[in-house]
Amino acid sequence: MNASPEEIVRLTELLAAGGVAAIPTETYYGLAADPRSEAGVARIFHAKGRDDGKALPVLFATRKQFDELGILAGRALLDRFFKIWPAPLTVVLPLAEPIAASRGMRTLAVRMPAARELLVLLESAGAVTGTSANRSGGTPLSDPEEVAKRFGESLDLLVDGGRTPGEKPSTLLDATVEPAALLRAGAFPWPG
C-alpha cells in the first residue's frame, strides 16, 4: 500500500480508462472502478457474476470527492455522518442524477473507509467503487492471494495491502428515510 506517486498516477489512468483493481479496505478486499465509468462498472458485474441491476457502493476520501458524486442530502444529515467517518459505515443517500455505479437509481451507497493507507490512496486516485471481492453470493475475500486466484484474469491491478481484518462487512444504513434504517449489521456498531 506504499504506492509511489508514479503508481498512483498509473492507478488513476487505469481506472479512468475503464480498468478494474482490487484494493484492501478495513473489512475485506474490494473491486474498484471509476464509479462514473460504464465500462469499469460493467467489468465488475461480469467478474462477480452479479445481476447488473444492483448498484455498487462507492468509497471516497475527501468532502470534495463526496460532493462530486452528486449526493443530495441536507447539511444536518451529512454533518451527522461526517462526524462518524472514516468508519466501516456505508450510507445510502439520494443522488441528483444516476451515475454508472448507481445503475440508473437515484440513490448511492457511500463510505469513507477507516483504513488510513486506503484513504491516502483515494485522496490521490479519487472515489472508486468498493463492492466486496467475491463471486455473487460467495464469501468476501480478505487474503490478497485468494483475490488474485479468483479474480486474476478480471483485474488490471491488485493493490496488495496484506490480509484485511475480514470478520464483518461494513454496516449498511439507508439514510433516504428518517430515521435511517439499518439494512445490514456489520463492523460499525449502529444503535438503531
Considering the domain boundaries, does residue 50 fall inside one? yes
Q: What is the DSSP track for 85-115?
A: -SSSEEEEEEBSS--GGGTT-SEEEEE--S-
pLDDT of residue 8: 81
Q: What is residue 177's predicted lDDT score, i.e. its pLDDT?
A: 94
pLDDT of the residue at 3: 65
Q: What is the pLDDT of residue 49?
A: 92
Q: Which parts of the chain register pLDDT below 70?
A: 1-3, 192
Per-residue model confidence (pLDDT) at position 43:
96
- Note the pLDDT of residue 10: 86
52 found inside a domain: yes
Domain at 43, CATH number:
3.90.870.10
Phi, psi of 161 (to 5 degrees): -110, 20
Which pLDDT value is given to residue 6?
Answer: 80
Q: Is residue 57, in this structure, part of any structural domain at all?
A: yes
Q: What confidence score (pLDDT) does residue 192 get?
A: 62
Asked if the structure places residue 192 within a domain, the reply is no
Range of the domain at 61: 5-184
* pLDDT score recorded for residue 9: 84
Q: Which of 169, 147, 172, 137 is nearest to 51 (CA)?
A: 137
- Report pLDDT for 1: 53
